[in-house]
Amino acid sequence: MRQLFGTDGVRGVAGQYPLDEKTTFAVGLALGRWVSSHHRSPEVVIGMDTRESGPWIARHVAGGLAREGVRPRFAGLITTPGIAYAARSGSFAAGVMISASHNPYQDNGIKIIDHSGYKLPDEQEHALERDILAFGGEPAPLPLTVDEGLDREYLDHLASTLPGGLAGMRIAIDAANGAASHLAPELFTRLGADADCIHCSPNGRNINLNCGSLHLQTLRARVLETGADLGIAFDGDADRALFISHSGKIVDGDAVMWINARPLHARGKLSEVVATVMSNLGLERALKRDGIGLVRTPVGDKYVLEEMIRRGAPLGGEQSGHVIFREYATTGDGLLTALRVLEVMRDSGKDLDALTADLEIYPQILVNVRVKQRRALADLHAVNREIRRAESEFGEAGRVLVRFSGTEPLARVMVEGPELARVEHFANSIADAIRGELG
């Protein structure tokens, strides 16, 4: 059983185990040992989002790398997909992103990306864990200087994917006071759009604070106030994006996949989309109506990507806004996703309301239940009784999913079906049963 790595790297409260000084240094040490065994004179690129803990964690990871003879290069403030791009396009043996994505500033994380641009497979993370846990020395952080050219190369790559630009488009941006704060306005302005950015003033503690992809109210109000063509909301490390239409409608990752799947299918480039178990049943039925299959994976963009590679699928993602376009990237990229959505709007002459008009989204309720312990779901008899009741009522017209979070002490209950009242009833009854058995 893994002790450090969750579904998206090593996560925790900055300054506390496993994100204390000793362990973060050991992460660099273990990574350095691994890349040194596969590369001559290796370099590793390190980036971070805007959390106040990012710089000291970066210095400790860099110190561990240096002790193993690996040269760290520091990209400074950059997105997670920006580090993935640097890792695969440069001479780097690996990349390290210091971010806790959509979590509050007190949290942080360390994501490791190999030279291919992909997140490490589970077995490699397990091997690194053994070295990290075996470390018994003292940390020696390394001072770092930002290499200004690395984020430029990433922006150049993004801009190159959209020939013709975005002249005349009015875009409202919510950068979540995170990694996209300086990159997003520069990219869209460079492509000719009129870009209006809110929450683009990070101070180390305001990342994701009532803003970004988890808090869309302010962006929605801005779109309606200014008459923007659309709004784009990123999370802290900008590996996801959600959208607001001109009329104020929320357009999530499922809708983004729907918008992009149809033109790809029409050009003979796509036969199926890879999504997670969380994607709405409405997406599955809409795709089927157009002759496009939907393949589901466990939650986590790394699992979506693994399945996309196995099947050769060009498009996949998560309802939360992680969308992967394999023609251009090896991971979910909020900035790239925004460009692809804008491209479909530009080329079709349709706004987001028109592009999503025939996508029927089933009512879906997600309840997070804080738990004191984890037990196998098969052993939770009251929970399973409630799940069976829901499944019996909905049949093929609904879905029930219960799982434990990979990053927090939570059980997640998802119920969807044709009637909101019944969906809410069963979501709450299952959540109550979990509280009774694990609370």
Determine the pLDDT at residue 1. Answer: 61
Cβ neighbours for 420, distance < 8 A, ≥ 6 positions apart: 363, 365
CATH architecture classification, 5-149: 3-Layer(aba) Sandwich (3.40)
Determine the pLDDT at residue 119. Answer: 86
Around 14, how many Cα atoms within 13 Å sit in the side-chain half-sphere? Answer: 22
Q: What angle do CA 348, 353, 358 make, to 5 degrees?
A: 85
DSSP code at position 361: P
Determine the pLDDT at residue 439. Answer: 78
Determine the pLDDT at residue 300. Answer: 83
Residue with the two structure tokens 């059983």: 1
Paired tokens of 68 = 């193993």
Domains 5-149 and 161-361 share a fold: yes
Residues 146-162: b if buried by 16+ CB within 10 A, e if exposed:
eeeebbeebbebbbeeb
Domain 364-438 has CATH 3.40.50.2000: no
Say what angle helices 54-67 and 21-36 make with each other, to 10 degrees.
Answer: 40
Rounded to an integer, what distance in angstroms lies between the CA atom of residue 213 and that of residue 241? 7
Paired tokens of 394 = 């909905």
CATH architecture classification, 161-361: 3-Layer(aba) Sandwich (3.40)
Show me where the domains of the chain are located.
Answer: 5-149, 161-361, 364-438
Rounded to an integer, what distance in angstroms lies between the CA atom of residue 53 and that of residue 57? 6
Q: For residue 338, what are the CA distances in angstroms to 5, 85, 197, 396?
A: 29, 17, 14, 33
Cβ neighbours for 394, distance < 8 A, ≥ 6 positions apart: 400, 417, 418, 422
Rounded to an integer, what distance in angstroms lies between the CA atom of residue 278 and that of residue 254? 9
Closest CA to 230 of 331, 139, 344: 344
Cis omega (within 30 of 0) on the bond before 185?
no
Considering 101, 181, 213, 320, which one is annotated as catalytic? Answer: 101
The reply to whether 91 belongs to the active site is no
Paired tokens of 389 = 């009741």
Determine the pLDDT at residue 354. Answer: 98
Which residue ranges of the chain lie beneath pLDDT 50?
none
Cβ atoms of 111 and 97 within 8 Å: the answer is: yes
Residue with the two structure tokens 């506390």: 16
pTM over 0.85: yes
Q: What angle do CA 27, 30, 33 make, to 5 degrees?
A: 145
Element (H, E) at 159: helix 149-160
Rounded to an integer, what distance in angstroms lies between the CA atom of residue 200 and that of residue 212? 10
Determine the pLDDT at residue 8. Answer: 81
DSSP code at position 40: S
